[in-house]
Structures are given as C-alpha cells and as structure tokens.
Amino acid sequence: MDNYRFILSGGGTGGHIYPAVAIANELKRRHPDAEFLFVGAKDKMEMEKVPQAGYEIKGLWISGLQRKLTLKNLMFPFKVISSLLGARKIVKQFKPHVAIGTGGFASGPLLRVAAGAGVPCVLQEQNSFAGITNKLLAGKAERICVAYDGMEKFFPKDKIVKTGNPIRMDLVDLKSDKKEAIAFFGLDANKKTLLVLGGSLGARRINQLVEKELGFFEEQGLQVVWQCGKLYHEEYKKYDSDNVKVLPFVNRMDLAYTVADVIISRAGAGSVSELCLVGKPVIFIPSPNVAEDHQTKNASALVAENAAIMMKESELDGSFENGFAQLMESEEMQKNLGQNIKKLAMPKATEHIVDEIEKLLK
C-alpha cells in the first residue's frame, strides 16, 4: 500500500516548520503516492512557508498563553475549544495513517485529537530542553524523536529515540560553488565573509551588536552578510552597501553557508544542527528570552566539545571585540572549531525519523 495519508503539524517559528517539511519531503521520496496535509496556527509563518514548500496547510485559531494577564489570555479557552473542534473535523475528513508533531501551538490540539481517534502519533523535539506542547503530548505519542541525550527527564524513556534534528537536504552536502555564492550576494572574492544569522524573525540584540560593530568588522577586513529578520529590515536596510548585505531572510542558505568564513548565530536547535553539518567556526549568542534558557543549554553542549564559541548577550559590550579579534587572528582556532563542530553532525536524522514513522505503518 502506498497511498498513505500523513498529517503534520509544527509552527510558530522556522525551528518547528523546517523539521516538519524535511520529514514530509523524505516520506514523499519513499511514498510518492502518499497524501500530505499540514495543520498550523492561522496567523503564523507556517501559513506562508508550508505552501512555498509545496504542501497544503489548514489553519487553526490557536496561540499560546501570554505571561501576563491580557485580553488574549481571556480568549485562550475559546481558542482551545475552537482548535480542538477544527482539528477533529480535519482528522475525520483526512483520515491520516500517522500524525507527526514538531512542536508549536497548533500541534497540541491536532495530535491530541488524532491520538484520541486511534491514529499513531510521532513527536519530534528539537531542543535539549523540551517544549511545553511536546511535554503535554508525550503520554499520547508512540515515538518521541530527540536530538540530545538526557531527554528522559521530560519523556517516558521507552518512547525516546535519538535521531538528531531534520536538516534541509540542500545543506547535507554543501556542493555549492563559492564563485556562485559570491556572485549571488554580490560580494568581493578577495575578502573574508562574516555571516550573521538571527533566526527567521531576527534577533534584536544581535542586530544592535552588528550595527555598533560595522566599523570594527571593516577594520578586520571583513564583508558582512547580515540576515536581520523581517521584523527589523526597515530599521537596518540603510546599512546595505557593497561591503554589507542586509537581508530580511536568506532564501539560499546553502549559498550563505558556502560563502561564510565565520558565522554569528542564535543557538536555536535547528540552527545548531545545521551549523554542525556546515563545519565552519561559529560564535553562538543564545537568546536569553526562551523557555528554560534552552538556547544557552544547546550552545553549552558544543562549547564543551571545543566545537563553538559562546558569548552571552549580557557580556557583549565588554568582551565581543576581543573574543572576535582573537578568533580572526588564529587560523588554527578557526580550523579546530570547524572540524570539531562537524564531528557532532547527524546528517541522517530525517531518514532515521522516517524509519520510526514507517515502523508504525506496519
């Protein structure tokens, strides 16, 4: 039987969307006649990104609880009821063989309803610290695919499989041509390139740092590809020049990674997994505003292997220039960091996750 139906949900940020799309792509490769349906939160970025990847998506009216008492919180119970009813209708019509959740608000109601209807469920947790949706769903899942050791403190041990995080396939073997990459971004072939990544929405503190240090980067002889995020593009596009490329979003990450000599990045799970494959020297600046400070935990795991440098937001003003100059002056340090981070890559993660999904089809 090849006409399986797979329902997938994950969203809110690129970190939940890309893994879901990568899993769908691998399932489609193995089962070309299968049907796919994504379920997202109505006003979130998955409603745009999933159709761009070639899949149908339906939206639920759902969002998270705000930390303080707001009108949105008063609406929350209604959103939960609405999204459960919406999910029930979707599951009833689509009749999936397996439901797959990669985190984010919409995956909560969808997988809850699917499990209640007897559909086997697979969760994929990207971070070293589990997200709230996945923790709530753990009891209902058949399998929980994780990327870090020690996850039994969040999930039942017998359900956990360590697979790594799904990665966009165009990154698995970076065959992109450096010449093509330089031409794509309009860069100078004789200069070293710093790539700055703040995640799909951008990172305010990283943007402030780059703005402040543009002169310093020029002194270092660097050109900059600066992905500032769409929320900040208006504010920073004035710095776009021959030497500094300011972008809301990078559509060709393979070319961005190819052209980079050194990378500054947030430490979201997806970014960390991708950067392991890329094998370039990385400075992680973890976001302190995420649940349980999981980005610091993600980055610390790499620092412990001498595979990356971590700088905390609170210490940037005092120590950034020194630490950065040290890295740029030492070819040896750059080489070691690049080699060590590459050793931690799990390039077959998507295939291993899909192997687990296929076991449930039997």
296 is in an annotated binding site: no
220 is in an annotated binding site: no
15 is in an annotated binding site: yes
Q: Report the C-alpha gap between 266 and 38 in whole angstroms.
A: 27
Q: Report the C-alpha gap between 309 and 134 in whole angstroms.
A: 29
Segment holding 210, helix H or strand E: helix 204-219
- Ranges of beta strands (E only) in the chain are 5-9, 35-41, 57-60, 98-101, 121-125, 143-146, 160-162, 192-197, 222-227, 244-247, 262-265, 282-284, 309-310
User: Hey, which residues does 38 pair with through a beta bridge?
Assistant: 8, 57
Q: Report the C-alpha gap between 116 and 64 in whole angstroms.
A: 22
**The pairing of beta strand 222-227 with beta strand 192-197:** parallel
* Buried residues in 214-243 as b, exposed as e (16+ CB within 10 A): beebeebebbbbbbbbeebbeebeebeeee
Phi/psi at 332 (nearest 5 deg)? -60, -45
104 is in an annotated binding site: no
Please answer whether residues 35 and 5 qualify as being in contact, where contact means their C-beta atoms are separated by less than 8 angstroms.
yes
Alpha helices in 105-187 (DSSP H): 107-116, 132-137, 178-185
**The pairing of beta strand 262-265 with beta strand 192-197:** parallel
Q: Report the C-alpha gap between 225 and 280 in whole angstroms.
A: 15
Q: Report the C-alpha gap between 349 and 184 in whole angstroms.
A: 29
Q: Report the C-alpha gap between 187 and 216 in whole angstroms.
A: 18
Q: Closest Cα partner for 6 from 71, 95, 76?
A: 95
Please answer whether residues 101 and 137 qualify as being in contact, where contact means their C-beta atoms are separated by less than 8 angstroms.
yes
Please answer whether residues 22 and 167 qualify as being in contact, where contact means their C-beta atoms are separated by less than 8 angstroms.
yes
Q: Enter the tokens of residue 81.
A: 């009821």
Going by the annotation, the residues of the binding site for UDP-N-acetyl-alpha-D-glucosamine are 13-15, 127, 168, 200, 295
Residues annotated in the binding site, as ranges? 13-15, 127, 168, 200, 295
